[in-house]
């Protein structure tokens, strides 16, 4: 994976890459006093790329953001939480355009250089007086210091418990380049960009096509390999902005340091994706599923996602039950080629199935392992060389509690 090609910046944030500032505040969309409006602003036009939810019903802000991204550059992203502005019809679209135009005016940039993102309840109109007053308060709060990023990170959360960020530096042509990211979960998370927003900033010099391709490939291996509950939302998007202020030779796959850059970029996205899975609604465990020996990587991905999406597997992990029968049942219903006689399964270090036959194992050791914070499930199919990793979380009483009472 090339994880030695970059250095982790523990204290880095989305404003660590050169050229970025961020802000966040409470404008009144959330019932609590938590932040619910934020922005990232770049001091120069940034090369930008995005991937969006595959849901047929796409929220109004996605339409507006697609328009802004048409020329491949952005100066600012304005984000609200507490209201998804989805299924809100013409008024919702107008509101998203208004968010864009007011943010552009406040930040002194072109409207077409502003992206808009929203997350929260579906089907209710935004309280635009609050949003507009909030946007007016953003410029004075923009900061290139840690506090700006922290305020932004707070502003994008819904039922998330913790902020999710990651930052690395990588050497490109002898110049230090920084890549950072921030994201929110945490329900409706599934492969294909479920209710999640992700923002990646970098000061790398990179062409739009290269950035878009890297973002798409990376999303498929990271954000699209996590699931909390199998639902995908109307609002998800992942946006990357590259300010170019690091000032090296333009990156492309032909650049000698491309692999280093790509691996750092992927690391940031993987950390964010894993953080979303770990903070899934009600989660008490991060579950990591590795599938090896499938016929193709795509087969391995489909099988890994089926295991990580199984309510029975997720409940078993919550109960610290080494119930490999549910794992193999999930493998068998993924709809991909599997030899029913050659499957090995390990739960952490403990082998529970070899060549599709149960292995006697120490139940106490399994219980102790399953009570840890992270649970690894490894499935070897022995039919090819395809592999994949997926991340998810356990299914708990709290997931039900949170989702039985979210809207009311």
323 binding a copy of itself? (CB under 8 A): yes
Nearest by Cα to 332 from 322, 340, 342, 341: 340
Judged by beta carbon, residue 177 or residue 395, the one nearer a copy of itself is 395
Nearest-5° angle of CA 389, CA 402, CA 348? 30
Tokens 């997926």 correspond to what residue? Answer: 390
How many residues make contact with a copy of itself (CB under 8 A)?
Answer: 63
Nearest by Cα to 389 from 369, 374, 373: 374
Of the candidate residues 7, 44, 87, 162, the single one contacting a copy of itself (CB under 8 A): 87
CB of 395 to a copy of itself, least distance (A): 6
330 binding a copy of itself? (CB under 8 A): yes
283 binding a copy of itself? (CB under 8 A): no
Of the candidate residues 72, 321, 378, 383, the single one contacting a copy of itself (CB under 8 A): 321
Are 325 and 352 a contacting pair, CB within 8 Å?
A: no
Q: Is 232 annotated as a binding residue?
A: no
299 binding a copy of itself? (CB under 8 A): no
316 binding a copy of itself? (CB under 8 A): yes
Q: Is 13 annotated as a binding residue?
A: no
Judged by beta carbon, residue 17 or residue 120, the one nearer a copy of itself is 120
Listed ranges 74-82, 157-165, 244-252, 306-314: which one lies at the site for a copy of itself (CB under 8 A): 306-314
Whole-angstrom Cα distance, residue 88 to residue 75? 27
Nearest by Cα to 387 from 295, 287, 254: 295
Whole-angstrom Cα distance, residue 328 to residue 347? 12
Listed ranges 13-21, 135-143, 209-217, 307-315: which one lies at the site for a copy of itself (CB under 8 A): 307-315
Of the candidate residues 358, 371, 372, 374, the single one contacting a copy of itself (CB under 8 A): 358
371 binding a copy of itself? (CB under 8 A): no
CB of 366 to a copy of itself, least distance (A): 10
Cis previous bond, 105, omega within 30: no
Tokens read off for 374? 């992270």
372 binding a copy of itself? (CB under 8 A): no
Of the candidate residues 55, 154, 159, 212, the single one contacting a copy of itself (CB under 8 A): 55
Nearest by Cα to 286 from 160, 397, 372: 372
263-295 per-residue burial string, b: 16 or more CB within 10 A, e: under 16: bbbbbbbbbbbbbbbbbbbbbbbbbbbbbbbbb
403 binding a copy of itself? (CB under 8 A): yes
Judged by beta carbon, residue 40 or residue 381, the one nearer a copy of itself is 381
Q: In what order do the strands lie in the sheet with 374-380?
A: 226-227, 386-393, 286-294, 374-380, 344-347, 350-354, 357-358
Listed ranges 86-94, 153-161, 248-256, 264-272: which one lies at the site for a copy of itself (CB under 8 A): 86-94
As a whole number of Å, the end-to-end CA separation of the chain is 45
* Binding track over 124-143 against a copy of itself, x by CB under 8 A: x-------------------
Spatial CB neighbours of 224, under 8 Å, sequence gap ≥ 6: 191, 192, 193
Judged by beta carbon, residue 240 or residue 345, the one nearer a copy of itself is 345
For 70, other C-beta atoms within 10 Å of its C-beta total 9
Whole-angstrom Cα distance, residue 131 to residue 137? 10
Judged by beta carbon, residue 276 or residue 330, the one nearer a copy of itself is 330
Whether 119 is catalytic: no
Of the candidate residues 15, 214, 331, 377, the single one contacting a copy of itself (CB under 8 A): 331
Rounded to a whole number of angstroms, the CA Rg of the chain reads 21
* Binding track over 6-45 against a copy of itself, x by CB under 8 A: ----------------------------------------
Residues forming the active site: 195
What is the binding site for a copy of itself (CB under 8 A)?
54-58, 84, 86-89, 121-124, 187-188, 190, 192, 229-234, 309-312, 315-316, 318-319, 321-326, 328-333, 338, 340, 353, 356-358, 395-397, 399-408
């Amino acid at each position: 994976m090339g994880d030695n090609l970059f250095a982790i910046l523990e204290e880095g944030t989305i404003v660590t890459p050169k050229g970025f500032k961020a802000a966040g505040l409470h404008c009144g969309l959330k019932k609590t006093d938590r932040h619910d409006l934020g922005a990232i602003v770049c001091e120069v036009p940034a090369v930008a790329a995005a991937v969006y939810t595959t849901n047929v019903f796409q929220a109004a802000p996605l339409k507006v953001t697609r328009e802004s991204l048409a020329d491949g550059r952005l100066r600012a992203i304005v984000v609200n939480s507490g209201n998804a502005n989805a299924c809100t019809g013409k008024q919702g679209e107008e509101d998203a355009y208004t968010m864009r135009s007011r943010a552009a005016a406040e930040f002194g940039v072109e409207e077409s250089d502003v992206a808009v993102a929203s997350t929260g309840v579906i089907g209710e109109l935004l309280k635009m007086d609050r949003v507009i007053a909030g946007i007016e308060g953003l410029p004075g709060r923009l900061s290139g210091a840690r506090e700006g990023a922290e305020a932004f990170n707070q502003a994008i959360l819904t039922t998330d418990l913790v902020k999710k960020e990651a930052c690395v530096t990588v050497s490109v042509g002898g110049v230090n380049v920084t890549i950072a990211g921030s994201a929110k979960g945490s329900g409706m998370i599934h492969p294909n960009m479920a209710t999640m927003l992700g923002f990646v900033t970098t000061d790398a010099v990179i062409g739009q096509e290269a950035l878009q391709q890297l973002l798409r490939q990376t999303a498929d291996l990271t954000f699209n390999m996590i699931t909390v509950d199998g639902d995908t939302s109307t609002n998800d998007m992942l946006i990357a902005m590259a300010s170019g202020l690091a000032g090296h030779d333009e990156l492309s796959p032909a650049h000698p340091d491309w692999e280093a850059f790509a691996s750092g970029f992927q690391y940031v996205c993987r950390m964010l994706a894993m953080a979303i899975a770990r903070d899934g609604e009600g989660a008490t465990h991060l579950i990591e599923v590795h599938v090896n020996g499938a016929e193709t990587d795509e087969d391995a991905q489909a099988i890994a996602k089926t295991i990580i999406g199984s309510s029975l597997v997720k409940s078993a992990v919550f109960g610290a039950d080494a119930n490999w029968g549910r794992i193999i049942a999930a493998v068998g219903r993924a709809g991909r080629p599997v030899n029913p006689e050659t499957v090995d399964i390990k739960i952490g270090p403990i082998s529970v199935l070899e060549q599709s036959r149960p292995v006697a194992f120490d139940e106490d050791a399994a219980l102790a392992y399953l009570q840890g914070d992270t649970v690894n499930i490894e499935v070897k199919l022995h039919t090819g060389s395809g592999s994949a990793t997926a991340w998810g979380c356990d299914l708990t009483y709290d997931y039900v509690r949170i989702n039985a009472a979210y809207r009311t």
